[in-house]
A and B are shown apart, each in its own frame.
Chain A
Amino acid sequence: METQVTTEVRTDTKTNKVKKRKMSLEKKEGLQGYIFIAPWLIGFLVLTAGPMLFSLYASFTNYDITSRMDFIGLKNYIRMFTNDDLFWISLKNTLYYVAISVPITTAGAVLLAVLLNQGVRGMRIYRTIYYLPAVLSGVGVYLLWMQLLNPSSGLVNTVLAWIGITGPAWLFDPNWTKPALILMKLWSLGGGMLLYLASLQGVSNSLYEAAELDGANSFRKFVHITLPMITPVIFFDLVTSLIGGFQVFQEAYVMTTGGTGGPANSLVFFNLHMFNKAFKVFDMGYAMAMSWILFVVVLIITLINLKLAPRWVHYEGDDQK
């Protein structure tokens, strides 16, 4: 980041007049700066900070959007922990999904990027193909996967049958619904891959050449050079995919036909439960209390991440963190 030049006004030899003019010029410049960032500033106050404060207050009320908004203290939070089975189920489902999908997709994206960073013919075409699923998202793709995962006529189980495996019922079997979503997520690895690809291209060749002279093989080069050099990007990707993972919603909503939660509530994710509380029964205060619980969970995980980062994230030279 560019360091800000302190706008120090010299007074020693200059006259007061010059000083004043300079001041006003700087003030004018500064004012223009604020005009330029004003849309963001207004947006931040109205669309981020304000709503967060409102949400925090409303989580201590019985707000239902139409008539009531009485302060009820911690009742929403107490109800959540003691009297809402779906809350615990949704938390467990979400943690399961995040714990499995984030490491797999992160590792997968790194490996894919390494593969796509080799000097092989037609690399541009491969990169395009692998990135394509990241562009395809939305309802159409979820519907496609419902078809692919169809237990009897779907492509996935047909291919499994070729190698003698009887595929599971996927979206119809509570044990397989979440793996089904993870499988779907793996298909669009290419989005994260691109980030790694860019950072791999920044790793200097001299490091590899030095290692080759020492007789290091490909695996050792990967573990001792490539991996450490791209840890800042892995860290960034990890933090953002954890935050994203906790927000899993759309796929579950679409693939369980309007947010019913799938067989045995196996796809009731935290956000889905919150969405249903807020927009189906208009229990807004409760839903906002839920959102703060999730916020705290995500915050704690992000902070742990930040805390652990210095142990494994390698910053080259004296680069800023």
Chain B
Amino acid sequence: MRNPSKKSSSYFKSAKTRKKISQTIITFLLLLGSVIILFPVWWMFATSLKSMTEIMQYPPTFIPKEWHFENYLDTWKAAPFTGYLLNTLFITVCVVFGNVVANSFIAYGFAKIRFKGRNFLFAAVLATMMIPGFVTMIPHYVMYSKLGWLNTYLPLIVPSFFGSAFFIFLLRQFFLTIPNELIEAAKIDGANHFYIWLKIMVPLAKPAIATVAIFSFNGAWNDFLGPILYITDESFYTLQIGLQVFKGQLETQWNYLMAGSLLVLLPVVILFFIFQRYFIEGMNLTAGSKG
């Protein structure tokens, strides 16, 4: 922290009090912001426990008068949520696995192996980040429908095994910080690149790989466009689609809607609190290398 030197001249004294005042103002602003951020989440929780009559009351109550915990059970029973959950879990696990394996593999190639056209191809990786998804959206749909992949998990899972620019970039950045001497030493011991990747680089890159895993979990879990495009058969629905259907059926049942939404968000929130260091550091990692 930059602190004015501790000479006790009056100028620095006033600077000190000014600093104190500004710190108080900042703390106040941050607290206010925190309340604004957290209140909607509380509101969601409170609504999920209210009865419909209480929801309709004006002015609205901030703390439910009666706590209807059974709303959660009713919500879960109102639609085949258990099936949706299993579908979502399966897809998410596959996507996370695909992303972790493919991106770390590709990123190792870009970071640690010299080959012709490497810089050019890496520039192409970065350029694909600039291509808006909608240009390829319809061709993807056509391709998957021709392959007979509609109403299967394949269109949602398979692409994750081909790497994504953002994750390749993030992992390459991490691999570059690992000294080349390590690789040279392993090579002298007779290790090939595949062995080095799996046994040396991947274990060393755990924090970065955790970041990729978390971000792709989040993405797959919250994916909405993919499932609505490729899945029409209810037995393949994911939680995100399940919620949407649920909303159509029970237009104004806000308590059930909020209970369902909270249940769906819960794993993400838990993950966030357990791994929040990685969430935040993962972003720092990419940002730090950009400036």
Q: Determine which of B119, B125, B139, B244 lies in contact with A4 in the assembled complex, contact meaning CB atoms within 8 Å.
A: B119
Please report which residues of chain B, range 17-74, place their CB below 8 angstroms from some CB of chain A when the two chains form the complex: 22-23, 26-27, 29-30, 33-34, 36-41, 43-44, 47, 55-60
The 10 tightest CB contacts between A and B, nearest first, are A36-B109, A43-B162, A33-B115, A140-B261, A51-B139, A138-B222, A198-B287, A33-B113, A30-B115, A51-B136
Q: How many residues of A contact B (CB 8 A)?
A: 106
Please report which residues of chain A, range 287-309, place their CB below 8 angstroms from some CB of chain B when the two chains form the complex: 287-288, 291-292, 294-295, 298, 302
Please report which residues of chain B, range 133-177, place their CB below 8 angstroms from some CB of chain A when the two chains form the complex: 133-143, 145, 159, 161-163, 168, 176
Question: Is A9 on the interface with B (CB-CB < 8 A)?
Answer: no
Which residues of B line the A interface, CB within 8 A?
1-2, 4, 22-23, 26-27, 29-30, 33-34, 36-41, 43-44, 47, 55-60, 102, 105-106, 108-110, 113-116, 118-119, 121-122, 124-125, 128-143, 145, 159, 161-163, 168, 176, 192-193, 197, 218, 221-225, 228-229, 240-241, 243-244, 247-248, 254, 257-258, 260-262, 264-265, 268-269, 272-273, 276, 279-280, 283-284, 286-288, 290-291
A-side contacts of B30, CB under 8 Å: 115-116, 120, 126
> A47 to B291, Cβ gap below 8 A?
no
Could you say which of A15-23, A78-86, A174-182, A249-257 contacts chain B? A249-257
Question: Is A29 on the interface with B (CB-CB < 8 A)?
Answer: yes
A-side contacts of B119, CB under 8 Å: 1, 4
Whether A232 contacts B128 in the complex (CB less than 8 A), given A51-B136, A55-B135, comes out as no
Whether A36 contacts B37 in the complex (CB less than 8 A), given A140-B265, A147-B258, comes out as no
Other A-B pairs, 4, CB within 8 Å; known A155-B43, A199-B288: A126-B33, A139-B261, A147-B258, A243-B130
Minimum CB–CB distance from A161 to chain B (whole Å) comes to 8
Q: How far is the CA of A283 from the CA of B71 in the complex (A)?
A: 42
Whether A5 contacts B114 in the complex (CB less than 8 A), given A136-B265, A194-B280, A247-B133, comes out as yes
> B121 to A37, Cβ gap below 8 A?
yes
Please report which residues of chain A, range 34-60, place their CB below 8 angstroms from some CB of chain B when the two chains form the complex: 34-37, 39-44, 46-48, 50-52, 54-55, 58
> A141 to B265, Cβ gap below 8 A?
yes
Task: Digitize A161-194: 1 where CB-to-B-CB distance is under 8 Å, 0 elsewhere.
Answer: 1000000000000000000000000010010001
A-side contacts of B221, CB under 8 Å: 138
Q: Determine which of B110, B145, B273, B286 lies in contact with A37 in the assembled complex, contact meaning CB atoms within 8 Å.
A: B110
